[in-house]
Structure 1
Amino acid sequence: MLVPVILSGGAGTRLWPVSREGHPKPFMALPDGESLLVKTYRRAADLLAKGGEIVTVTNRDYYFQTKDQFLAARLSGQRAHFILEPLGRNTAPAIAAAALALRERHGDQATMVVMPADHLIRNAEAFGAAVEEAAALAAEGYLVTFGIRPTAPETGFGYIEAGTALNERGAARVERFVEKPDLPTAERYLASGKFLWNSGMFCFRVGTLLDELALHAPQLLEQASACVAASPVREVGAVLQQELETGHFADLPDISVDYALMERSEKVAVVPAGFDWSDIGSWGALSDLVEPDAQNNRAAGDALFIDSRNTFVQSEGRLVAAVGVENLIVVDTADAILVAHVERAQDVRQVVKRLKDSNHDAYRLHRTVCRPWGSYTVLEEGARFKIKRIVVKSGASLSLQMHHHRSEHWVVVQGMARVVNGGEPKLVSANESTYIPAGHKHRLENPGVIDLVMIEVQSGEYLGEDDIVRFEDQYGRAN
């Protein structure tokens, strides 16, 4: 039995200001409009017969967005199993938890294909052939990793040195894993023909993986086993949901599967990928997905180039004009603009570090923030006021809640709202409004079949998102 296991998380700091902590890289829409996560789900489904299971390991804060992406991929007949982490603990705990969960459901002979959610692979047929080869090696007892044939002396990737050949198609035992090299070392690796980029994708039998963890990382396996045992699977509609118990999970080490196991095991093999691959690790990599003009300018969104060369512009909703510039990356969002030299694309992460050190909201959130019930967009804010556009999905409901420091005025723009405001529910139609005083218990629901759109005006001494007390919540967020 083949089970794709998708690892979805990570802030993608080199892709700021689009990728942020609250809206990480897998949710980013590529120039064709689809997210990396949707593409990964479709690639996973291509490996399965109808009715197969796709496991996603992600942070519990991303659960509702992730489920929406699964539904957006329209995977007819595929079953979703979400394993939810309470906090980030790198790939070794995530993969161990997934393996233990699959052992309980399908036994030791199930074959896991571990796929990061932020990779782009456009040749699905070649990817399927590589997975088939890897699964055959996994059946022989190998822990298989996928290596990418290098096309340049890349210093941003780890490398795998291939050793003894295992078949005529290029699969080999792994001689060693090496860290991201400096440029002279990367040039030697490229010239030798023996090194592959480490893709971070794996294939192994559940039993083999757990046996090797017992040998090389016994404490990690013991802690992961205790965590999964304390984390029952719940069936919610057609979805399996398994929230990992916080106390046990917090005890697990923050370590990658490469360090914890792959570099120590003697059963590791590598399959050279016959498919195109990109980890979309920087704005340079993303710009390569856009067709250039005659001056090698590329635009995702509304852009105008005058006497400019070798410049990439991504714009969300407004025109960006580039005049007399060259070798630039310009990324425009509602609340932040990035301007960088193309040769400094890898250094964008330094911006995120500075923002995080100063506790600036721009490292965490966009103006538009997704919630389980829909989304809100901050339109304007100042001293003692904030204006939001709120969208509530059909049938969705905000929590029954109260604010200590702010009052709210709601104006319905589209749809119908059912409002609880300190008393019995009442319906509020388009062009009507209601006022929520500070201290009042209130709730907003959308009983209609179309999205409910509202304008909310907040006023008060403190307008932070943490001024909220939840009494009841259908998404499990009550205080």
Structure 2
Amino acid sequence: MTSVTPLILCGGSGTRLWPLSRKSYPKQFSALNGQDSLFQQAATRLSGPGFDRPVVVTNSEFRFIVVEQLAAAGIDPGAVLIEPSGRNTAPAILAAGLQIAARDPQTLILVAPSDHVVPKADAFRAAVKAAAPAAMAGRIVTFGIRPDRAETGYGWLELSAPPRDDQTQPLRRFVEKPDAARAEAMLAAGTFLWNAGIFLFSAQTLLEGFATHAPDLIGPVADAVELAEPDLGFLRLAADPWAKARDISIDYAVMEKAANLDVLPFSAGWSDLGDWDAVWRETGTRDGSGNVTHGDAVSIGCTGSLLRAESEGQVVVGIGLHDMIAVAMPDAVLVAPRNRAQDVKQAVAVLKETKARQAEHFPRDHRPWGWFETLALSDRFQVKRIVVKPGAALSLQSHVHRAEHWIVVCGTARVTVGDRVSLVSENQSVFIPLGEKHRLENPGKLPMVLIEVQTGAYLGEDDIVRYEDVYARR
């Protein structure tokens, strides 16, 4: 088989898995069904013999999380493209396709979301191998999942004949997410599959598809690629031309108009983990009453329920619950019937209207140097726990509105305050006056933890003036 270049899309927000998945740290970076994150599972599934290094398309906020998680999985990316703004999947796929085609237009590209679950990776790799001859012959191959229920949360694919595993068949048409009656009818018909949103094609076939069906996208996206700038190992697409590209999905821009579409049926297990009911359904380990628990969660007299405690030191107890979801985080708790799981996105919309921070922001803020979380917040003070990775450093910075007091509780910090550089060990502290230039570094081989106490009239994260930054953040 000709080697395949995986193109992993990694920019979604996954609001239906709120409160665990939020805009600042979406579901693909969480370990929902094992030790590895969904993104790591996707990258691992699309690696090994027959696969080249992956190309990842993400945004500026996630770029360091992407490379950190890939490194932890032992995968070296071929390229990480940074979108200046979200323009949906069509411009993202086209940008990567243009870059890949510049090397070899016959390269096969496998487009895959980063947040799906495929339990049998070997079976999926075999399906990709089976689809490769059609893709090499100029076809666009989409992977259809054999349905086991009348699902209304997925788009469907209609075939002209009953599906045959490991054999490509012409696609008759795409079907939008159906209502319950229509889903039941399609399930009974036996000629419909779920649309997984996974595609295999050559780079040349992709570009021909855009030239035929969405030619207006080629100019701005090609300019964004041509004017892209390297940025610490990433490729940052040019913002001005990128902004001129239409915000449109690959399905609407190309796939639903193309005449060269085939389907490869796949029946070895798949889920997009699109809501909490899917998490309950895809979790293999349940108790005798059909309950799924995670973390310090206790079920008493419950049936068919999902109980998750997402933080250390947090306990969730369910009593007499039937087909319910209970997900607890330090700053938000979700309780809902499992059959209303699709409505969680409505809760996010309501929270956004009220400007609640929990709508989009994760309680733990991830940075290239580590992470921090707020332990206490009031009008004129804030207390944070800050964890700095070995060898990492925060930017040289100052604040206009706040002073800070740092207490090291684990490890040793190298601290710059003005012109003075000192080592601060466990149980020692240092004061950062308002307006003073300062930097925090971890010179050790283990994570360094400190407690930061901020005092001042304004405590927002945008009160930072950067002078130097090893991560070239803007």
Check whether TM > 0.5.
yes
Asked if the contact 1:157–1:197 (Cα under 8 Å) also holds between the matched residues in 2, the reply is yes
State the AA in 2 paired with 1:68: E
Q: CA deviation at 1:33?
A: 2.5
Instruction: State the AA in 1 paired with 2:81.
Output: I
Map residues 11-410 of structure 1 onto 2, 5 A cutoff: 11-46=13-48, 48=50, 52-75=52-75, 78-104=76-102, 106-163=103-160, 169-233=166-230, 236=232, 240-288=233-281, 289-316=283-310, 317=312, 318-410=314-406
Displacement of 1:79 in angstroms is 4.0
Q: Return 5+ residue gaps in structure 1 as ranges.
A: none
C-alpha offsets along residues 9-44 of structure 1, whole Å, 9 cap, x if unaligned? 211111000001110110111242221011011101
Displacement of 1:471: 1.5
Alignment partner, residue 441 of structure 2: 445
Q: Contact conserved, 2:384 with 2:452, CA < 8 A, in 1?
A: yes
Query: What is the letter of the counterpart of residue 400 of structure 2?
Result: H
CA contact (8 A) 2:162 2:190 kept: no
- Among 429, 445, 454, the residue aligned to 1:433: 429
Letter in 2 for 1:150: P
SS of the counterpart of 1:425? strand
Per-residue deviation, 1:312 = 1.1
Query: Residue 3 of structure 1 corresponds to which residue in structure 2?
Result: 5
Code of the aligned partner of 1:331: V
Q: Is there any run of 5+ residues in structure 2 with no aligned partner, and where?
A: none
Q: CA shift at 1:233, angstroms?
A: 4.8
Q: Is the 8 A contact 2:165 2:264 kept in 1?
A: no
TM-score, with structure 2 as normaliser: 0.96
Structure 1 residues 286 and 435: alpha-carbon distance in aligned structure 2, compared to 1, 3 A threshold: same
Looking at structure 2, the residues matched to 166 and 280 of structure 1 have their Cα atoms a distance apart, in angstroms, of 24
Q: How many residues align?
A: 469
Shift, 1:169, TM fit:
4.5
Quote how far apart the aligned CAs of 1:153 are: 1.1
CA displacement, residues 105-162 of structure 1 (integer Å, 9 cap, x when unaligned): x210100011100000011121011101221111111011101111111111111111
Could you list the runs of 4 or more consecutive aligned residues of structure 1 that deviate by over 6 angstroms after TM superposition? 164-168
* Percent of aligned pairs with the same amino acid: 44
User: How far has the Cα of 1:325 moved from its partner?
Assistant: 2.4
Deviation at 1:367, TM superposition (A): 2.0
SS of the aligned residue for 2:69 comes to: helix
Shift of 1:307: 2.1
Equivalent position SS for 2:243: helix
Query: What is the CA distance between 1:46 and its match in structure 2?
Result: 3.3
8 Å CA contact retained: 1:4, 1:44 = yes
TM-align CA RMSD = 1.7
Aligned residue identity for 2:215: P
2:462 corresponds to 1:472: no
